[in-house]
Amino acid sequence: MAGGPPAGAACATGGWAEGCFAKDGDEIWVRDTRNDGNHAAVHWWLSGGSASDDKICHDRAGKAAGWTVCDGLSGVIAENSNITIWPMTMDGDQIVPNGASPQTIAPTS
């Protein structure tokens, strides 16, 4: 997708994968930062919860494609909560060793 997360999005950067949460629109953004044959993903969960298979935003398009957005989450991401986003590099459904980036916690509203 052209561009990237909107100004003011809460982002976790500095790793092999990067991710952001935009509370306006309840969007999760993910970007691959390496040409290594793996893909980037953002695992996310709300306060009091944990990461699960249905709370992952994948970017399988590769580094050259830029940002991928997962939207349509307004019915899933509760208001008045906190969201943790955790970008990571994946090989299939497994985290690549040293592929986890720093986490970020942000308010959902």
For position 51, what pLDDT does the model report? 66
For position 1, what pLDDT does the model report? 54
Fold of 10-107: Immunoglobulin-like (2.60.40)
Low-confidence ranges of the chain (pLDDT < 70): 1-2, 50-53
Residue-by-residue DSSP string for the chain: --S-SPTT-EEE-SSSEEEEEETTTTEEEEEE---SS-EEEEEEEETT----TTSEEEE-S-GGG-EEEE---TTTS-SSSEEEEEEEEEETTEEEEEEEPPPEEEE--
